[in-house]
Amino acid sequence: MAVSSSNRVLLSVQNALVGFGGAPLFKDLTFHIMEGEKTCLVGKNGTGKTTLMHIIRGLKELDDGERWESAGVTIGYLQQDIIPKAGQTVKESILEDLHEDNQHEGFTYRMEMVVDPLQIKLTDRMDELSGGQKRRAALARALVEQPDILLLDEPTNHLDLEVIMWLENYLKGYRGALLCISHDRAFLANISNKVFWLDRGNLRVCPFGYSGFEDWSNTLLEQEERELKNREKMVEIEVAWASRGVKARRKRNVRRLALMKEARDKLRADKSAFLNMMSKIEMESSDVEGTSKIVAEFIKVDKSYGEKVLLDKFSFRIMRGDRLGILGKNGSGKSTFLKLLVSEIEADAGKVKRAKDIEFAYFDQNRKDLNMEDSLWRTLVPSGGDYIDVMGKSRHVCGYLKDFLFDPTMARNPVSILSGGQKNRLLLAKVLADPKSFLILDEPTNDLDMDTLDMLEEILSGYQGTLIIVSHDREFLDQTVTKILAFEGDGVIEGHIGGYSDYLAARKLQQRGEMLSHREEAARDEKFAAANADKAPAKKLSFKIQYELDNLPAKIAALEKEIEDLSMKLEDSTLYSRDAAAFNAYSGRLSQAEHEKDVAETRWLEIESMKP
């Protein structure tokens, strides 16, 4: 995903001084946005990510320095707070404030091509949409404008994995410049070829995408630490603060992944038992209450809403200590599964049994357990007092709030003034203080920054109870769960051992098998057609399309071989330290080759379906 050096500069900020609250936020701030670059913006809370977005949009004046943009450059922005007008449709919202040149059929077609995969309609009324749907409408508006510079702030919030993967592919092909803030690390790794890192008032530029950012930033910090070790004690204290974050996160992740790998290896050895657990065959009803290892069991459960089937003769066992990740697009049955589990709703048929001693702790993405009028303090200790019991240990409320990145001076403030991310952190603090024996987290990563995600992963790595996580954050699932339950829609639910990466690998193998079956079927049809060619004349493909079809298998095979070779090269753990440019080139080409293979295979199937 390298950017040509010939790409023109769209916007430039040089030697800027930017103050905030009387103190300088940035000194000597210099950066350039180039045509075609896809940049992710990372940094701790309070480092100025939103301010930088405002500078780019021209909404924040510089105290000193220069901001320059190329003539005619357009800048688009994903709105965070959408206030719909009464009766306004999604189409009217998208067209609002746009130039009259966009009022034509071609632009309407472009809008339809974007809103359809976002699972909304142009005719939907904005004031009747849910909060998540309003965000999708705002995202649609930002995308269809096709500005020269597109600014996206947490675009994956409230999107399911299917839509996130569509958005990734859309942004990979986007011709303009992109600057994105997101907590979804897999999303950033897949779309970016540059990183702007805000670190202690400085903007550091990583010359390749987020996939290599951890190693790059860790190398910088280690170099800085080595240099500062020769200086006075006060400077050593400073570097300890400076190194906290990326370096600590990397070390924690290595340990956590090792523990997770050990757990997954053990589970793979018991795969046949897991597959039996997922089967819909007749099975004897077990006594959950008397079986210490089984905490809940679904027995041939049906659940529908009207003609929409969500669960169809669904049988499933949840074992004590399971770490289960839930995937699926909106409306596929994830929430219904959870509501059945905690007895909020009843099954249409079948049974849901639960162990007698089971206790649930539930993080609800809608935050129904937060009273907006209560203070943060009262939310954590509703009965009063200065201390909260955290997993059996007494902690002062202010100290516990600091663990979740709150300034203790906020403790007496009402919940209503908090941002969405702060409300999520507060609810997590409340739930994780007493996670009980069965912890359910429904979309816990929405609106969270990366530091909070690291903290949450660390807490969950030590949790000993039964865990269910519903999330669209792929890396978060890889770090925290050992089984996946994928809701594919129409009552189809599949189980997989491992995290999201294991699920994705299994899906690719399945799709590859289906592709081979299609090829074999097409070959049989071709032989049958040749044998009966004299019986019925048929239309032929055009010479151009036939030529394309004849060459596609060789092209697909070559891409498969290239992908295999690149993957082997990238397995070399010393490659980046020896040759960072080669590492970057191989990574970028691997992503592109995988995309080209998918396109070629899809085209092969498309032409095969055209044959008489």
- Secondary structure class of 393 (helix, strand, coil): strand
pLDDT at position 303? 92
* CA-closest candidate to residue 474, choices 496, 445, 495: 445
Residue 523 CA, chain-centre distance (Å), reads: 39
Q: How far apart are CA 489 and CA 332, in angstroms?
A: 5
Mean pLDDT of 66-84: 86
Q: How far apart are CA 323 and CA 466, in angstroms?
A: 6
The overall longest dimension of the chain from CA atoms, in Å, is 93
Q: How far apart are CA 55 and CA 49, in angstroms?
A: 10
Token output for 496: 């997989």
Stretch among 152-166, 228-242, 315-329, 521-535 having the lowest mean pLDDT? 228-242
Residue type, 422: Q
Burial of 290 (0-12, 13-18, 19+ CB in 10 A): exposed
**Residues ≥6 apart with Cβ < 8 Å to 185:** 210, 450, 473, 475
Mean pLDDT of 331-347: 90
Query: Looking at residue 269, what DSSP letter applies?
Result: T
The kind and range of the H/E element at 214 are helix 213-228
User: What confidence tens digit (pLDDT) does each residue in 508-521 have?
Assistant: 777 666 555 555 66
The reported pTM is 0.65
- C-alpha gyration radius of the chain: 27
- Secondary structure class of 545 (helix, strand, coil): helix
- Secondary structure class of 302 (helix, strand, coil): strand
pLDDT at position 273? 42
Mean pLDDT of 203-231: 80
* CA-closest candidate to residue 79, choices 137, 147, 162: 137
Q: Under a CB-based contact definition with an 8 Å cutoff, are residues 344 and 324 in contact?
A: no
Q: How far apart are CA 139 and CA 142, in angstroms?
A: 5
Q: How far apart are CA 578 and CA 580, in angstroms?
A: 7
User: What confidence tens digit (pLDDT) does each residue in 12-70 have?
Assistant: 999 999 987 777 888 899 999 999 999 999 988 778 888 999 999 999 989 999 999 99
Q: Under a CB-based contact definition with an 8 Å cutoff, are residues 152 and 181 in contact?
A: yes
Query: Looking at residue 415, what DSSP letter applies?
Result: G
In DSSP terms, 318 is beta-bridged to: 296
pLDDT score of 541 more than 80 = no
Q: What is the mean pLDDT of the chain?
A: 80
pLDDT score of 547 more than 80 = no
Q: Under a CB-based contact definition with an 8 Å cutoff, are residues 226 and 201 in contact?
A: no
Q: How far apart are CA 163 and CA 330, in angstroms?
A: 10
User: What confidence tens digit (pLDDT) does each residue in 232-279 have?
Assistant: 444 344 444 444 544 455 555 556 555 555 555 554 544 444 444 343
pLDDT score of 431 more than 80 = yes
Q: How far apart are CA 362 and CA 344, in angstroms?
A: 12
In DSSP terms, 297 is beta-bridged to: 317, 353
**Residues ≥6 apart with Cβ < 8 Å to 150:** 76, 142, 143, 174, 176, 177, 178, 179
User: What confidence tens digit (pLDDT) does each residue in 354-375 have?
Assistant: 988 889 999 987 788 888 999 9
Query: Looking at residue 541, what DSSP letter applies?
Result: P
Q: What whole-number percentage of the chain has pLDDT above 70?
A: 79
pLDDT score of 522 more than 60 = no
Token output for 425: 């952190």
* CA-closest candidate to residue 461, choices 484, 432, 485: 432
Token output for 381: 């200790």
Q: How far apart are CA 400 and CA 393, in angstroms?
A: 11
pLDDT at position 326? 93
Q: Which band of pLDDT confidence, cut at 50, 70 and 90, is reported for residue 106? A: low
The more confident residue out of 599 and 516 is: 599
pLDDT at position 513? 63
Q: How far apart are CA 245 and CA 268, in angstroms?
A: 33
Terminal C-alpha separation, the chain: 40
**Residues ≥6 apart with Cβ < 8 Å to 324:** 318, 467, 468, 469, 481, 483, 484, 485
In DSSP terms, 153 is beta-bridged to: 181
pLDDT at position 530? 56
